[in-house]
Structure 1
């Protein structure tokens, strides 16, 4: 069940607890917990409903301004399909987050190695697990199509393989590309894999950007902004003017800045410019 970033953020905040979809038949079940960019989202109800019974309260609970907006959105979809009302709630952080930050002991590493070997043996294209981990370690935050091209794979199958590694906490998805987790690095180090740590630049110091979506992240990176403190050097208007930065990204940047005790340059809470030292 696809959900937009803004929709997910509203579910996490508790502002949205309904979604409406036109389906031939239900595609989710009550109790299903979906892994999303904001964590786990649980399906609490799935009901087929006539369009004529929808209310303004339904629209507001789905994050829409009016009943007319809800109906218009449904009319743009396959009008021959029935409408389903799906109840949703935020169910906590993705357990893979804690998993990828936990460095495994020797026994766990051995078990992970056995699992990786099994994936390699089952692959019709030959071993791929360690090569993929090493590639992500060498080229973090690189577009999946570019990584896939490096190893002669199509993008879809490459992403599918990376998802398998992510399930075990060995990699982490970024707005653009991936990075190796502490767990994945421990596995490679234990096996003595030739990681190219010396050839890579060190991670940028400071607070990283929050998850904003690929378009907003690319726009900020193109401006030379890769850390949250660099965002604080810009005004909200300058950031919003970047192509790819919409209301969702701006709202999350503002929340991240506030949590870090920072603010956009032109907003209350921004640090005053440093005064030159007197000689």
Structure 2
């Protein structure tokens, strides 16, 4: 469940606490959590709702000026319409990790080993350093363009970037990615690691 940047800002401010989505199958559940750029959301309720039952107040709590704007954003009817109630539970734990840039030798060794493990498990061979370098050189470049540099499909490439994000090395932008302070610090330390370069 994705949110646009203006809505994320209002979630962080506590003024948006509802979302409406058309799904064939819900992607979140009651009692679960969802990690977003605004922080970790605690999912309090996921209910099927009829479009005609949505109120103006609910539309505003979902970040819209009114009910008509909300309904227009949903597009053609595909699947059930769900109302998702949530609250901001706390900061994304990865956010604090991304800010940790004063790396010790032990930190660097541990991260290098994690990257090596990702490389060894990939059928296409080593990829982690090259992806980190390209994101560092092209912050904000769209994921399809980044993926094309490696001759890859976008969806699996984005899945790999999420693995780097889980290590606190990258962060998502409204469009594309950038290295986190931790990622930049690591790349400075391991910049001489050898790995195939992406396509020009």
**What does 1:205-216 correspond to in 2, within 5 Å?**
none
Q: CA deviation at 1:67?
A: 4.2
Q: What number of residue pairs does the alignment pair up?
A: 193
Which residue in 2 is equivalent to 1:153? 152
- Which of structures 1 and 2 has the larger relative contact order (alpha carbons within 8 angstroms, sep 6+)? 2
Whether the aligned pair in 2 keeps the contact of 1:172 and 1:179 (CA below 8 Å) is yes
Q: Which has the higher strand share?
A: 2
**What does 1:230-249 correspond to in 2, within 5 Å?**
none
How large is the Cα RMSD of the aligned pairs?
2.9
* 1:84 and 2:51 are equivalent in the alignment: no
Q: CA deviation at 1:87?
A: 0.4
Whether the aligned pair in 2 keeps the contact of 1:12 and 1:89 (CA below 8 Å) is no
**What does 1:1-279 correspond to in 2, within 5 Å?**
1-70=1-70, 76-78=75-77, 81-103=79-101, 104-191=103-190, 193=192
- Matched residues in 2 for 1:48 and 1:32: separation? 17
Extract unaligned runs of 5+ from structure 1: 196-279
Question: SS of the residue aligned with 1:91?
Answer: strand
Larger CA deviation: 150-159 vs 126-135: 150-159
- Matched residues in 1 for 2:99 and 2:51: separation? 46
Q: CA deviation at 1:86?
A: 0.8
Larger radius of gyration: 1
Q: CA deviation at 1:167?
A: 1.1
Q: CA deviation at 1:51?
A: 4.0
Larger CA deviation: 31-40 vs 105-114: 31-40
Extract unaligned runs of 5+ from structure 2: 195-200
Seen in structure 2, the aligned counterparts of structure 1 residues 24 and 116 have a Cα distance that, compared at 3 Å, is same
Seen in structure 2, the aligned counterparts of structure 1 residues 118 and 26 have a Cα distance that, compared at 3 Å, is same
Question: SS of the residue aligned with 1:90?
Answer: strand
Q: What is the TM-score of this pair, normalised by structure 1?
A: 0.58
Question: SS of the residue aligned with 1:89?
Answer: strand
Question: SS of the residue aligned with 1:29?
Answer: coil
Question: SS of the residue aligned with 1:9?
Answer: helix
- Matched residues in 2 for 1:73 and 1:142: separation? 26
Q: CA deviation at 1:193?
A: 1.7
> 1:38-64: per-residue Cα shift (whole Å, max 9, x none)?
333332211223445433332332233
Seen in structure 2, the aligned counterparts of structure 1 residues 164 and 56 have a Cα distance that, compared at 3 Å, is same
Q: CA deviation at 1:69?
A: 4.7
Q: CA deviation at 1:189?
A: 4.0
> 1:92-146: per-residue Cα shift (whole Å, max 9, x none)?
3322222112133222322222211111111111111112222233333434344
- Matched residues in 1 for 2:174 and 2:68: separation? 33
Moved over 6 A (4+): none
Q: What is the TM-score of this pair, normalised by structure 2?
A: 0.77
- Matched residues in 1 for 2:140 and 2:6: separation? 22
Whether the aligned pair in 2 keeps the contact of 1:56 and 1:67 (CA below 8 Å) is yes
